Chain A
Amino acid sequence: MAQIFHRSTNFISRFSVFSFLFIVGFAILAVLAAARSPYLTRQNITREQPVQFSHKHHVGDDGIDCRYCHTSVETSAFAGIPPTKTCMNCHSVLFNNAGYLEPVRDSYRDDKSIQWVKIHRLADFAYFNHSIHVNKGVGCSTCHGPVDQMPLVFQANTLLMQWCLDCHRNPEAVLREKPEDVYNMNWKPPDNQEEIGKRLAQERHIRTTAELTSCSTCHR
Chain B
Amino acid sequence: MSDLAQAGNKDDRPAPDEPFDNASSAHRPLDLAAVRARLQSKTGKHYWRTLEELAGDPDFEELLHREFPRQAPSEWDDSVDRRDFLRLMAASLALAGLSGCGRAPEQYIVPYVKQPDGVVPGKPQFYATAMPFGADAIGLLVESHEGRPTKVEGNPDHPSSLGATNAFAQASILNLYDPDRAQTVTKAGEIQTWSQFLDAAQALASTLRATRGEGLRILTGIVNSPTLAADLQNILTLYPLAKWHQWEPAVGDGTREGAKLAFGSYVNTVYRPENAEVILSIDSDFLASGPGNVRYMRDFYKRRKLNQHAEADRSGNEMSRLYVVEPTPSVTGSSADHRLPLRSAEIELFARALAAKLGLGGTGKLAPDAEKWLDAVVKDLKKYPRRTLVVAGEQQPAEAHALVHAINAALGNVGTTLYYTEPVEANPVNHLDSLSELSADIDAGKVSALLILGVNPVYTAPHDFYFASKLRFDEKLKGKKVETVIHVGPHFDETAQYCDWHVAESHYLETWGDARAFDGTVSVIQPLIAPLYRTHSVHEVLAAFTDKPGLSSYDAVRERLKAANPTGDFEKFWRKTLNDGVVAGTAFAPANVSLKFNPASLPPAKESSAGELEFLFRPDPSIYDGRFANNGWLQELPKPVTKLTWDNAALVSPKTAQDLKLTHSIPSRGGEHGQILSDVVDISLSGSKVTAAAWILPGQAENVVVLPLGYGRKKAGYTGTNKGFNAYAVRSSNALWAANAPRSVIRKTGDDYPLACTQYHFNMEGRHILVSGTLDEYRKNPNFVHELQQAPPKELSLYNGEAEFPYNRDKWAMAIDLNSCNGCNACVIACQAENNIAVVGKDQVMRGREMHWIRIDRYYTNSVSATSGKSTGDPSEYQPALDHPDTFFQPVPCQQCENAPCEQVCPVGATVHSAEGLNDMVYNRCVGTRYCSNNCPYKVRRFNFLRFQDWETPQFKLMRNPEVTVRSRGVMEKCTYCTQRINNARIEAEKKNEPIADGAMVTACEQACPAQAIVFGNANDPNSRVSKLRLQLRNYQIMPELNSRPRTTYLAAVRNPNPELENP
Count how many pairs of residues, one from A and one from B, have CB atoms less than 8 Å apart in the complex: 132
> Which chain A residues (68-125) contact chain B, with CB distance < 8 Å?
72, 75-78, 80-85, 107-108, 111-118, 121, 123-125
Determine if A84 and B113 form an interchain contact, defined as CB atoms under 8 angstroms apart. Answer: yes
A151 to chain B, nearest CB (A): 19
Of the listed residues A85, A118, A214, A217, the one surrounded by the most CB atoms of chain B closer than 10 A to its CB is A214
Q: Cβ of B918: which chain A residues have Cβ within 8 Å of it?
A: 214, 216
A211 engages B101 (CB within 8 Å)? no
A80 is contacted by which of B121, B982, B990 (Cβ under 8 Å)?
B121
> What is the interface residue range for chain A against chain B?
35 or more
> How far apart are the CA atoms of A127 and B983 in the complex, in Å?
10
Contact indicator B924/A117 (Cβ below 8 Å)? no
Q: Does A14 contact B (CB under 8 A)?
A: no
**B307 contacts chain A at the CB level, 8 A cutoff:** no
- Beta-carbon nearest neighbor of B923 in chain A: A125
Chain B residue with Cβ nearest A123: B924
Q: Which of B104, B914, B964, B993 contacts A121 (CB 8 A)?
A: B104
From A82, A111, A132, B111 is in contact (CB under 8 Å) with A82
Q: Is B987 a contact partner of A117 (Cβ separation < 8 A)? A: no
CA distance A218 to B1055 in the complex (A): 44
CB distance from A208 to the nearest CB of B (A): 7
Contact of B121 among A39, A72, A108, A124 (CB under 8 A): A72
Q: With a CB–CB cut-off of 8 A, which chain B residues contact A204?
A: 993
Interface pair A220/B108, CB less than 8 Å apart: no
Is B444 an interface position by the 8 A CB rule? no
Closest A-chain residue to B116, C-beta based? A83
Check if B963 is an interface residue, CB within 8 A of chain A: yes
**Interface pair A214/B914, CB less than 8 Å apart:** yes
Whether the pair A113, B111 counts as a contact (CB closer than 8 A) is yes
Q: Which residues of A sit under 8 angstroms from B112, Cβ to Cβ? A: 83-85, 113
Interface residue? A178 (CB, 8 A): no
Question: A44 at the A/B interface (Cβ < 8 Å)?
Answer: no
Q: CB of A219 within 8 A of chain B?
A: yes
A195–chain B nearest beta-carbon distance, Å: 21
In whole Å, how far is A113's beta carbon from the nearest beta carbon of chain B? 5
Residues of A near B990 (CB, < 8 A) are 132, 135-136, 205
Interface residues of A in 111-155 (CB under 8 A from B): 111-118, 121, 123-125, 127, 129, 131-132, 135-136
Complexed CA–CA distance, A84 and B122 (Å)? 18
B110 within 8 A of A: yes
Which residue of A85, A121, A211 has the most chain B CB atoms within 10 A of its CB atom? A211
B979 proximal to A (CB < 8 A): yes
Q: Which residues of A contact B987 (CB under 8 A)?
A: 129, 131-132
Secondary structure class of chain B's binding surface, majority of residues: loop
Any A CB within 8 A of the CB of B808: yes
- Contact size class for B? 35 or more
Q: How far is the CB of A107 from chain B (nearest CB, A)?
A: 6
Question: What CA separation (Å) do A72 and B109 show in the bound complex?
Answer: 15
Q: In this assembly, does B965 line the interface, its C-beta being within 8 Å of a C-beta of chain A?
A: yes
Q: Which residue of A lies closest to B805 (CB)?
A: A210
State in angstroms the CA–CA spacing of A165 and B123 once bound together.
Answer: 25
- Tell me, rounded to whole Å, the shortest Cβ–Cβ distance linking B709 to chain A: 40
The answer to whether A4 has its CB under 8 Å from any CB of chain B is no
User: Given A75-B120, A84-B114, A208-B808, do A135 and B991 touch, yes or no (CB 8 Å)?
Assistant: yes
Assuming the contacts A118-B107, A125-B923, A211-B809, asked whether A72 and B122 have C-beta atoms less than 8 A apart, the reply is: yes
Most interface-central of B115, B805, B809 (chain A CB within 10 A)? B115
* CB < 8 Å neighbour of B979 from A31, A113, A116, A220: A220
The answer for the CA separation of A83 and B965 in the assembled complex, in Å, is 27
Closest to B112 in A: A83
Q: Does A34 contact B (CB under 8 A)?
A: yes
Q: Please, what's the 1-or-0 string for A190-220, where 1 marks a CB less than 8 Å from any CB in chain B?
A: 0000000000000011011011001111011
Query: Which residues from 10 to 28 on chain A have a C-beta closer than 8 Å to any C-beta of chain B?
Result: none
Given contacts A131-B991, A132-B990, A215-B920, contact A75 B123 (CB under 8 A): yes
In the assembled complex, B595 has its CB within 8 A of some CB on chain A: no
In the bound complex, CA of A124 to CA of B979 (Å): 16
A35 to chain B, nearest CB (A): 9
The residue that A112 contacts in the complex, of B113, B912, B924, with Cβ under 8 A, is B113
Q: Could you say which residues of chain A place their CB within 8 Å of the CB of B993?
A: 204-205
What residues of chain B lie closer than 8 Å to A217, measured between beta carbons? 914, 983
B113 contact set on A, CB distance < 8 A: 83-85, 107-108, 111-113
Across-interface contacts of B111 in A (CB, < 8 A): 80-84, 113-114, 116
Asked if B976 contacts A83 (CB within 8 A), the reply is no
- Cβ of A2 under 8 Å from chain B: no
Lowest 6 CB-CB distances: which A-B pairs, in order?
Answer: A78-B122, A214-B914, A76-B122, A215-B920, A83-B112, A211-B915
A-B contact pairs, 21 of them (CB 8 A): A75-B120, A80-B120, A81-B121, A82-B111, A84-B114, A85-B113, A85-B114, A111-B114, A115-B110, A116-B110, A118-B107, A121-B107, A125-B965, A129-B983, A204-B993, A211-B809, A215-B912, A216-B914, A219-B920, A219-B923, A220-B963
